[in-house]
Amino acid sequence: MSFFSRLSDIVSCKLDELVAHQADPASAMARIISEIEEGLAGARRSVAAAGNSEERLQSERAERQKQAAWWANQARQELAADHEDDARQALMRKKETEDLVAGIEQQIAAASSTRAHLTTTMRAIEARLAEARRIQQERLAQGTPVASARSETVVAETFPPAVDTTRAAQIEAELEALKRELKK
């Protein structure tokens, strides 16, 4: 039985209520954690794919910008050689290339927005996984039996889960701000 049909279900569910209605809460929690881990793996793949797409588009934009500069230079050279029609053609090609750059920039903005959205969703899933593991650990501490060896491994992992360095820096900065606030 699958608990989650979409990643948004993972983020929006109430784990305690979900587990409370199960005949074997420990086993249910182990399955929930497994499904959240699968969802998190998928979210991480999606974030990576979105980042790769954004990087590819940025690279393509840079290449097209070089082409536009080349066509501008070509127009200068043609005009200097008194080839006005050829200069006009080069400027037309430059304008076409600039139009392509404008379209690529819109795609970059969309890709960036998608990556940011997926990253937010991924972090919410990471938070849900941490919560599920805490609930499982609390149940173990209360003497509730563990459903499987996998569950024991999950509980033995370090809490909270590893965070990326940017997020860790944000957390440290917020902690320092709170310390300053409390000293006032």
List the one residue out of 59, 180, 181, 40 whose CA is nearest residue 119: 40
Residue 51: what pLDDT?
96
Q: Helix or strand or coil: residue 62?
A: helix
The predicted pLDDT at position 133 comes to 93
Q: What is the pLDDT of residue 147?
A: 47
Question: Does the pTM of the predicted model rise above 0.85?
Answer: no
Q: In what helix (H) or strand (E) does residue 90 lie, and over which residues does it extend?
A: helix 84-141
Q: What is residue 156's predicted lDDT score, i.e. its pLDDT?
A: 36
Q: Give me the pLDDT at residue 152, please.
A: 38
> What is the pLDDT at residue 184?
67
Per-residue pLDDT tens, the chain, 184 aa: give them. Answer: 455 556 667 777 788 777 777 888 888 888 889 989 999 999 999 999 999 999 999 999 999 999 999 999 999 999 999 999 999 999 999 999 999 999 999 999 999 999 999 999 999 999 999 999 998 898 888 875 544 434 333 333 333 444 567 777 888 888 888 888 888 6
d(CA 30, CA 38): 12
**How far is CA 11 from each of CA 22, 34, 35, 49, 151, rounded to the nearest angstrom?**
20, 15, 12, 21, 21
Cis peptide before 160 (omega within 30 of 0): yes
